[in-house]
Amino acid sequence: MRSVHPGTRATTSVCIGSLILGAAGLLTGLPATTHWGAVDVLARFGAEPVRQRVVEVPEQRIITAAGVSSGIDMAIRLVARLVDDVAAQAAQVFVEYDPEPPYKAGHPDQVGEEVMARLAEYRGVRS
């Protein structure tokens, strides 16, 4: 990553992919995001974890996206950045990205102990 990044138009990550960028030293002192379950690890790599779906650091050409679904948000932003807003909107229409989640449960801060306990039961994740 360290050798590739200088030649990229944008270096990006989705979910825990930001840990790879962090391990390569590309996020030191920069705001970044990752899956909520890996925030502590991201901080250990010197990044400044932010609770946002997408974090852009334009002067470094780095974009990080939180969980898997936020990768769509990031991809649409990248199309706008690399092409233009019309192309980004066309991409959004093409993939029919018009989310209507059935629950407001996209982050642990939005759910109660019962939901986190069930998640731990299914996935072995600590609540």
- Set out the domains of the chain in order of their start, with CATH numbers: 5-96 (3.40.50.880)
User: What pLDDT score does 125 carry?
Assistant: 58
Q: Which listed residue (15, 55, 63, 65) is catalytic? A: 15
User: What pLDDT score does 122 carry?
Assistant: 87
Enumerate long-range contacts of 106-111, CB under 8 Å, 24 or more apart.
106/67, 106/69, 107/36, 107/51, 108/36, 109/51
- Please state whether the predicted TM-score (pTM) of the whole model is above 0.75: yes
User: What pLDDT score does 123 carry?
Assistant: 76
pLDDT tens per residue across all 127 residues of the chain: 999 999 999 999 999 999 999 999 999 999 999 999 999 999 999 999 999 999 999 999 999 999 999 999 999 999 999 999 999 999 999 999 999 999 999 999 999 999 999 998 887 655 4
For this structure, is 15 an active site residue? Answer: yes
User: What pLDDT score does 126 carry?
Assistant: 56
Which of 77, 58, 74, 57 has the alpha carbon at shortest distance from 66? 74
